[in-house]
Every structure is written in C-alpha cells, then in structure tokens.
Chains A and B, each alone.
Chain A
Amino acid sequence: MKLKVNGKEEVLVKTSVSVKEILELFKVEMPDMVSVQLNGEFVKRENFQTTSLKDGDEIDFLYFMGGGSN
C-alpha cells in the first residue's frame, strides 16, 4: 500500500492499517499531543482506531506547540 505520510511517499507491506497503527509504525513523537489529518480532513482522536487508510491516502501529523491537543 502506498501512502503519503507527512508529505513523504511511503510503501507499506500491510494492506490495511488504522490511524492508531500508523502512529505506532512511524513512531510519531508525543502521540498524546498530535492531531491527524487524513486527505486534508481532521480525524477525531476517538476514531484513530477505527479509521482505516487505503492505498493512495495522505496522512499528516500536526502539532500545536504550546498547549493544544484534541
């Protein structure tokens, strides 16, 4: 599966992966503070586990430094 992660092309062997798994897979820093956009749309934290990525998806990890997190 091809993905664009934080603007960089990545290839995964897995065919199905959730947002939560992606955070672990890419060892995302400060996972409690990160916000996630999937194809430009905001993903609620409570949906990280149930939201699956598909081939060609773009996922971004965003931080609001200094006191902001969902």
Chain B
Amino acid sequence: MKELKFVTKVLHTKFLKQDPHGSLHMPIYDNVAFEQKQAEDLELAFQGRKPAHMYSRISNPTVEDFEQRVRAVTDAIGVIALSSGMAAISNVIVAICQTGDNIVTSKHLFGNTYSLFENTLKSWGLEVRYADLTDVKEVEKLIDDKTKAIFLETITNPQLEVADIKALSAIAKKNHILIIADTTLTPPYLFKSKDFGVDVEVLSSTKYISGGATSVGGLIIDNGTFDWARNSKLRVDAGKYGPLTFLNKLRREVFRNLGACMSSHNAFLQSIGLETLHLRVDVSCANAQALAEFLEKSGKIKQVNYPGLKSSKYYQIAKKQFKDKLGALLTFDLESKEQCFKFMNKLEIIRRATNLQDNRTLILHPASTIFCEYDASLKKEMGVRETMIRLAVGIEDLEDLILDIKQSLEALK
C-alpha cells in the first residue's frame, strides 16, 4: 500500500499488542507496576531483553502508544513522552553534555528555556554561547571541540524570529555536532523537522498536540540522523547501541533517573488531541494570519510581528520552511505598557492567560510575566519590549476575534 499520509497514520497506527477487547483507543493503564509470570522474565525485562513494561515511571502502555503514534507521523527512530516541554529540553541537554561542554543558542528564546540554560545548567558546568542564529557565520565562529549542539526554536517565542534551519543544520553536520530544534510553535503536521536536517526535536505537547490545553506534556523526537560516535559523552555507547544510543541513554539512565515521565491520563488526552491536530493547526494559523493583517492595516498599532506578514524580515524563510501555516502566535506593540494593559483589560472574548494554542485566543504582556525576572537591559537583548503584547491565536470564529480587538482598540482613544 502507498505510504499513508499524516492524519491517516495518526488514526490507524496499530497498537504494539492487540487490545483484548478491541478498543479503538489505547485504554488508560492507570497503574504503576506490571507483573511477570516468572522471576526470570522480570530479570530479562529489567535487562531490556524482553519487551515488557515494569514500572510506569519508565514505560507504560498508554504512554507508549502515544509515543508510537508520534513516531509514525514524524518518521523518527524513537520518541519519548515526558511531563512537559521543559522536561524534554533538560533531558536532552543532560544526556548529551557534561561539565565543560557548551551549546550554541540564541538569547531569543522562551523565557523558561533561557532560565534553564543560564540559571540551572550553567551552575552544573554547561557553557552556553549566545549568537544571532539568523547569522550562520556568527554561529559557526562560536563552535569549538567542546560544542555539543546548536539549539534553536523554529519560531522564537515571543520574538517570532525564524532562522534558516537547513543552513544551521549544514554547519552542525560539518562540525559533527547535534542540531536540536524546539518545534513547539510548529509541531509535526505543520513542520517535519527531519526534512530540514534536525537531529533531535523537542516540543511542548501541552500546546497544539494536547487538543486545546487539556494536559501538560513534552516530547523528545530522535530523527535517527546523528552519528552518536561523534559525541564524546556517548562515544562508547555508540558501539553497542548504534543509532539507538541516545534513546538508550535516555531510557536507561537520564529519563529514568530524572523521573519526568508523562502520566497515562495525559498520554490518553494527548493521543486524542493528536487526532485533530491538523484541524486546529489549520484554523489557528489562518486566524493568526488574518488577525496580523487586520492589525497591520488598522493603523492603530505601532508595530505588528508575524512571520506571515510580507513586512516581516523572516517572511521568505518562514514561507520556505512552513509553507502556508506560519504558526498561531503574533505580537504587536502599543505606545506604552499602560496602553498594553488597558487594551488587554478591555477585551471581552480574548482571555488574559499564559499559554499557546489553547483552543481559545490568549493574550499576554511578556515583559511583565514570562520575562519579569530579567532586568531591562537583558530584556532588550532578549527582544522583549515593555510595549509588546503577545497574542496566541485560537480557533474561534475570526469575525468575533476581530470585533473584540476592534472594540478594545477603540477604548485606547
């Protein structure tokens, strides 16, 4: 049969073991331990020599089924579902780096990711080198023999910057280092990271995949493209486990020991969310494009940022990488922080909350919330302005969203 397309694959990926009752959804295995018939079977399972679940922190049938469905649509070698997107990032960095190693990334990142790198991992001996990831030459200058990876966000949050991923991947490959992409704003269906040379994809599945903010979760997607013998920390393991070296390191050490597993309840919700991902992506991206165009034409906004606007300096590269779906996040600037707050408080439909790709449209003032712990000069470096509002566009009827924004803009007069 011809290779199935994304949605069909999501809906018809077979269970690894047939459900005894013929359930169409993998049931929620809301238990902790799994029994083996013989002590010898338990020994083999612990050695990884028998395909059996033992303990739900390590693996669970419901979580595994969700992982298998993501694997099927991403064409990855392996997928691990975790408790959050931040857990996914921290697990990956801990698995590939050791004291004295460095990663190259940008200060234009999600605030918590920057905090993880700068405040949490630096004190454990990780050096974090910051570059403008849209300047490939600048990135390459920072790579040395201690560099383990380039870390990027496919669309940065909230700067909405878009780097040339294939160009960064070429540099990573030339220098035999990993390229890790946080695809939270461009999840599978919208963007296939493997086609752009990304080795490892991380994302917060809380966002699009969960089906409208039903649950918190994260994913590590190993595209199976990296030669792990090139990573000094994993070199010895690479001889034994080949392309599965990274998954082995996570499953049998880092992921197991850090314990940031996804619950079976969340896996069930996220698995159902995955089935309608395409519908929500299509509507929210179309809404975001229309709202960005409306705001730009309104003449009442200082500045509108959205990669789908021709005025965006990332328009061309964003189109090349994400085609006609350029994410559902946009930002715009008003005259002052006070004006931003006034605008936000007047909204009747759009909700004041911190999340992305809820089914509802959410609004946030990044400088006073996600980035509140950083001083003015760092905020400037991070591209976070006091005058900037972030709009995470949902799937409501577009006309209603426009009317809500219109009446709120009127109130600014």
Q: How far is the CA of A49 from the CA of B63 in the complex (A)?
A: 32
Tell me whether A41 and B239 are in contact (CB under 8 A): yes
Tell me whether B242 and A67 are in contact (CB under 8 A): no
| Cross-chain contact of A29 among B51, B59, B71, B240 (Cβ < 8 A) | B51
Known: A33-B16, A62-B49. A68 touches B78 (CB 8 A): yes
Tell me whether A70 and B242 are in contact (CB under 8 A): yes
Using Cβ atoms and an 8 Å threshold, which residues of chain A touch B248? 64
Is the CB of A30 closer than 8 A to any CB of chain B?
yes
Q: What total of chain A residues lie within 8 Å of the partner, measured CB to CB?
A: 23
Tell me whether A65 and B240 are in contact (CB under 8 A): no
CB proximity of B78 to chain A, nearest CB, Å: 3
Tell me whether B64 and A65 are in contact (CB under 8 A): yes
Number of cross-chain contacts by CB at 8 Å:
84
Q: What total of chain B residues lie within 8 Å of the partner, measured CB to CB?
A: 34
Using Cβ atoms and an 8 Å threshold, which residues of chain A touch B78? 64, 67-69
| Cross-chain contact of A30 among B51, B241, B247 (Cβ < 8 A) | B51
Known: A7-B47, A67-B79, A70-B77. A41 touches B67 (CB 8 A): no
| Complex interface residues of chain B between 22 and 75 (CB less than 8 A to chain A) | 44, 47-53, 58-60, 63-64, 67-68, 70-71
- A4-30 vs B: 1/0 string, CB under 8 Å? 001100000000000000000000011
Tell me whether A63 and B49 are in contact (CB under 8 A): yes
Residues of A in contact with B (beta carbons under 8 Å apart): 6-7, 29-30, 33-35, 37, 40-42, 44, 60-70
Tell me whether A44 and B242 are in contact (CB under 8 A): yes
CB proximity of B189 to chain A, nearest CB, Å: 18
Tell me whether A42 and B48 are in contact (CB under 8 A): no
| Complex interface residues of chain B between 159 and 211 (CB less than 8 A to chain A) | none
Using Cβ atoms and an 8 Å threshold, which residues of chain B touch A70? 77, 224, 242-244
CB proximity of A46 to chain B, nearest CB, Å: 11
Interface centre among A30, A33, A70 (most CB of B within 10 A): A70
